Amino acid sequence: MNLTIAGTGYVGLVAGVCFAHVGHTVTCVDIDQKKVELLRSGVSPIYEENLEAFLKEGIASDLLHFTTDYRSAYASAEAIFIGVGTPEQSDGSANLKYVATVARQIAESVTHDCLVVVKSTVPVGTNDKVEQFIKDSLINDVCVEVASNPEFLAQGTAVHDMMHAARIIIGVESKNAESVLRSIYAPFNLPIVAVKRRSAEMSKYAANDFLALKISYMNDLANLCELVGADIEDVAKGMAYDERIGSRFLQAGIGYGGSCFPKDTKALEYLAKQHGYNLKTVGAAVAVNTSQRTVLFKKACNRMITFNGIKVAVLGLAFKAGTDDLRESPALYNIPLLLEQGADITAFDPVAEENCKKQFNFSMTYSPTVAETLQGAQICFIFTDWKEIKETAPEEFKRLMRTPLVYDGRNLFDPAAMKAAGVEYYSIGR
Ligand code: UDX
């Protein structure tokens, strides 16, 4: 089929290359000329496993195109996917200006009947508004329908998640919209859940916020475990065997970050508030996550007289391993607290260092290896679950640090092994 994708961020680009990979003809539209040129040359602006390989393959087979000329890209498409950003606003609501811009451009450009598919995460009811908005602004006498198709890809495994999704959710109001989407997804051979548009929009928040709740529940329990002398890792192990609970997203730590959970929890809370409803469960997850971010720092404050002039090793900057993304990363909440107290920080991150330098002006030193970061440090904080950090031998902390004092926000080490190596070790919920 002939598909157009609006937006070449995580959502749009991954969808575009995967649709081309299964044989559709795809045109990706972006307003950023430089990005479009980069993509045309086969280079991906973001790192994701297999993304660049699929990109090159799509270009070589002439199934995948990139353009800034939205008019021609929208004019003849059978389906147009909207994958632009919906950033969080200061009150927690989602900013829909990019979605609205694309909707207007579509209305002004389409010359054939087509299906507009909203992939961006949008508040419940947005698809109705987008459809009305397009219908009101159409220039040509064509029929445009809107469908919802939320995506569930996680950073670091985005291409795999799209190709092997647990399910494809489509929110449709007509048989025609359902059959177009079923044809588009047929080559993926995945379960398709067809529901009404508003339910599809809600499913995205429901799934993400449930996972955020799951993590916050474990973090909340972890804090209680410390008080009663239990170990959250053992507790999680026992829970995981229960198929009704499942083994994933039970990892206690320094709080969830990234572009989805913090944003989607706040957006759903905001949506509920708008309707005069207090969504207490999600509110609790947000509150737990906010306090969890500084739980280690507070522990360390109880142990130290001062951070002034203290050599601090920070291991990990990204919000999770496998990405260079810093959005809502726990490290970003702790580094300013440490700097405010006069700490002398050296930080390590195998891929997010450049992003951190570009985006923040932290007065700290960066180091290319874990060992160099630990050298002479008086205290160490672990904020990301990178393999490079996890694989450091406990003895190395003892050997390299001036005082082997470690605060681990990801429970990467066995407390007994750290103790045996002579390291004073604090983690979460153990
Ligand atoms: C998430 C969802 O997984 C994905 O389906 C959705 O479309 C977008 O949001 P992502 O933000 O890329 O994806 O990362 P994910 O792996 O889900 O982790 C989110 C955060 O939770 C990270 O900060 C991670 O470290 C944290 N986390 C995850 C935990 O603290 N404990 C866990 O058990 C799992």
Atom of ligand 1 nearest to the CA of 323: 12
Does the CB atom of residue 152 touch ligand 1 within 6 A? yes
pLDDT digits (tens, 9 = 90+) for 252-309: 999 999 989 999 999 999 999 999 999 999 999 999 999 999 999 999 999 999 999 9
Residue 144 — very low, low, confident or very high, per pLDDT cuts 50/70/90? very high
Q: Are strands 25-29 and 192-195 parallel, antiparallel or unpaired?
A: unpaired
- Which residues are known binding-site members for substrate? 204, 249-253, 257, 320
pLDDT digits (tens, 9 = 90+) for 73-97: 999 899 999 999 988 888 888 899 9
Locate the DSSP E strands across 167-285.
Answer: 168-171, 192-195
The rounded Å distance from CA 311 to ligand 1 centre is 31
Atom of ligand 1 nearest to the CA of 319: 23
What's the full length of the chain, in residues? Answer: 430
The rounded Å distance from CA 256 to ligand 1 centre is 7
- Mean of pLDDT over the chain: 96
Q: Confirm whether 204-292 and 295-426 share one CATH topology.
A: no
Residue nearest to atom 1 of ligand 1 (CA): 154
The rounded Å distance from CA 208 to ligand 1 centre is 9
pLDDT of res. 373: 98
The rounded Å distance from CA 346 to ligand 1 centre is 26
Range scoring the smallest mean pLDDT among 120-124, 163-167, 225-229, 410-414: 120-124
Q: Could you tell me the fold of the domain covering 204-292?
A: N-(1-d-carboxylethyl)-l-norvaline Dehydrogenase; domain 2 (1.10.1040)
Site of tokens 């737990």: 288
Q: Could you tell me the fold of the domain covering 295-426?
A: Rossmann fold (3.40.50)
Atom of ligand 1 nearest to the CA of 212: 21
Residue 47 — very low, low, confident or very high, per pLDDT cuts 50/70/90? confident
Helix, strand, coil percentages (3-state) for the chain, rounded to 5, are 45, 15, 40
Residue nearest to atom 17 of ligand 1 (CA): 154
Helical H segments across 276-386, by residue range: 280-292, 295-303, 330-340, 353-359, 370-374
- Please state the domain extents for the chain: 2-195, 204-292, 295-426
pLDDT of res. 388: 98
pLDDT of res. 92: 82
pLDDT digits (tens, 9 = 90+) for 215-232: 999 999 999 999 999 999
Q: 260 an active-site residue? A: yes
Superfamily of domain 2-195: NAD(P)-binding Rossmann-like Domain (3.40.50.720)
Residue nearest to atom 28 of ligand 1 (CA): 249
Residue nearest to atom 9 of ligand 1 (CA): 260
pLDDT digits (tens, 9 = 90+) for 206-217: 999 999 999 999
pLDDT of res. 427: 98
Distance, in Å, from the CA atom of 389 to the CA atom of 266, rounded to the nearest integer, reads 31
